[in-house]
Chains A and B, each alone.
Chain A
Amino acid sequence: MKIRYFAWVRERIGKAEETLLPPAEVATIADLLGWLKTLGPEYEWALEKAEFIRVALDHVHADHAAAIAGADEIALFPPMTGG
């Protein structure tokens, strides 16, 4: 699946997007955030306060309890500051 990062999440991880294949036991967004943190210190830094990270599945906001199965694009980003 394609994972995209925005704002300081993007800066800390050091890339705007990547294609990853999480292991089968990664079922929810919370699982995904936990798994990403194991990929390296840059991920750990970006996701250290995982509860504040906002996530969208295929362009729609989703709770951390949401299942990721079937999503083509998952985006991780900080709370929004537009307007």
Chain B
Amino acid sequence: MTTPPIAVRVQAEPFDVAAETEKMTAGRTDIGAVVAFTGLCRAEAGRLSALELEHYPGMAEAEIERTAREACDRWPLMGVTAIHRFGVIRPGEPIVVVITTSSHRVAAFEAAEFLMDFLKTRAPFWKKEVGLDGAKGDWVDAREADDAAAAKWAR
């Protein structure tokens, strides 16, 4: 089985989910399911003016790519796109998107969840809180719930 197309980008700029989806489906008549998950920056009950995301250039792309390849080994996918932003991101703005395509919905749903669970615990990104006064606050703590979510895919 040949590996389906994988597109991974790490960028400061916002992304357009509809345009990214169109790139994956244009001209194809074999895709029956598209799942797109977008993660947004929250204001945390009005406490934050932004999140500042640090990343490890080079490794971030490589780790997301490895995760996408693993998803393609596990599910019959027709394509994977994963885009993760870095830099200053304000509440309501997108941080990450994963898009999976397949002939049927189950593979697309499961693979998208797997990708997000793995990105959260394995892709080298770190969030720092920025308060309403613009002052840099604390680093966001890793959540045990995220580790548990990733662990459920172990095999």
| A→B interface (CB under 8 Å) | 4, 6-8, 56, 59-61, 75, 77-83
Nearest B residue to A4 via CB reads B56
Q: Which B residues touch A56, using CB under 8 A? A: 56, 59, 124
Nearest B residue to A11 via CB reads B139
Select which of B54, B58, B139 is within 8 A of A59 by beta carbon: B58
Given A6-B54, A83-B95, A83-B96, A78 and B126 contact (CB-CB distance below 8 Å): yes
Q: Which A residues touch B56, using CB under 8 A? A: 4, 6, 56, 59, 75, 77
Q: Is B142 in contact with A80, judged by CB distance below 8 angstroms?
A: yes
Q: Which B residues touch A78, using CB under 8 A? A: 126, 139, 142
Q: Which A residues touch B84, using CB under 8 A? A: 82-83
Given A81-B139, A83-B120, A7 and B126 contact (CB-CB distance below 8 Å): yes
C-alpha gap A83/B120 in the complex (Å): 5
